[in-house]
A = this chain, B = another copy of it.
């Protein structure tokens, strides 16, 4: 990319796959980027712009000249513009909207009004609709003319005079049918659709289960207003996974690799400080049993063991519920079944671990059968309770939509620590004369 080599740059660069163009563009200095804006047409640059991360889009957008920027926006898909507008100040967004074509602007305003993480917010409004009386030949002609504009032409949607969705034809079915068949003959009337208010996680489950490339978004009165495509869904799955992992590790919103230490600290430190305060409760709890500890110092030896096992058991159950909630919906029957199973599982694991630890303890110098029994019994109770905590808390959170951070791994671990150590010291204090 040197000065005055516009033509050779254009030939080589535009020959690359769009994704590779984006990769190369991302590595450029500001000076080189400006030369790219100069060398490419707005329509060519639009392809690169839509592939950038939102933060990069903001930087690049500020470097563009107004006319170029506006022309480029007109070339972007409505859902990409909507995502970008969600990131810039409202004032600038409305200014840009006022400069865009009216139909496009209305589309985007509509999209901006849907709540985040719903089908309405992730759908695109570009799709192809057919009339039931169209013939295959006529449709093919039309696709030939305008096909490239829509984000996907692999499904064609059949609507009636009132824009209501009445059927669907896949491009595949269209191809293998005879020229003078009508769409009515071909179309499937049973269309799987979602509402603009459907949660994105549910949309992704539908696309997955039915192996679709896209699903139509239909309002309550049956009007079709957009489609959600499979590539959007892959992004959704990734977003939801990141949320789940954040929940297990208390790093919500801090999983980004490409931030500096200060930013990473800002995001992670609040969680640690919060956990530090919660941890003080554990310290306070043990403080109450200082008398017991002073008398039987060996009890301290098993504090981390009890605490760790409480944490581990709870985290197992938490992971199962978090993953379960991501992959399927629970009804009341399912919840009762899960609780019963976890209780029984916790009981079985508790018996085995409790017996094991009692036996192992005996080999430690200074321990006796009573101490072994105290630890074994405590561990059994702790494991049963932790299994239940790890199951019930995320379910409650999910039901009442409390901030899911409360159900994150470290919080459940700390609660289980408290419970486990309370059980342990209560039993030990009761039996202190035998230790």
Contacts and interface: CB of A to CB of B under 8 A. Distances in A.
Interface string A383-422: 1000000000000000000000000011001100100010
B304 A357 contact: no
A109 interface: no
Interface residues on A, range: 35 or more
Nearest to A352: B269
Contact of A147 (B172, B192, B273): B172
Interface stretch (A24-32, A35-43, A220-228, A278-286): A278-286
A411 to B, nearest CB: 10
Between A260, A342, A410, the greatest number of chain B beta carbons within 10 A of the residue's beta carbon is seen for: A410
Interface in A289-323: 290, 293-294, 297-298, 300-305, 307-309, 311-313, 315-316, 318-320, 322-323
A239 to B, nearest CB: 11
Contacts of A353: 269, 272-273, 276
Contact of A301 (B261, B286, B298, B410): B286
B287 A364 contact: yes
Interface string A374-386: 0000000001000
A342 B264 CA distance: 9
A287 B315 contact: no
A142 to B, nearest CB: 10
Contacts of A250: 312, 315-316
A132 B251 CA distance: 53
A145 to B, nearest CB: 8
Task: Please report whether the interface of chain A is mostly helix, strand, loop or mixed according to DSSP.
Answer: helix
Contact of A297 (B233, B294, B320, B342): B294
Interface stretch (A99-107, A119-127, A343-351): A343-351
A375 B153 CA distance: 64
Contacts of A144: 175-177
* Number of identical monomers bound together in the oligomeric complex: 2
B309 A276 contact: yes
B287 A349 contact: no
Nearest to A148: B176
A14 B276 CA distance: 59
Contacts of A245: 244-245, 248, 319, 322-323
Interface in A249-282: 249-251, 254-255, 257, 259-262, 264-265, 268-269, 271-273, 275-276, 279-280, 282
Interface stretch (A64-72, A83-91, A206-214): A206-214
Contacts of A345: 261, 264-265, 268
A148 B172 contact: yes
Given A282-B305, A293-B293, 17 more contacts: A154-B154, A154-B172, A208-B231, A230-B231, A238-B327, A248-B249, A250-B315, A261-B340, A261-B342, A272-B316, A273-B353, A279-B304, A280-B305, A300-B300, A307-B308, A311-B410, A409-B409
7 contacts: A171-B175, A251-B316, A254-B316, A254-B320, A279-B304, A290-B366, A297-B297
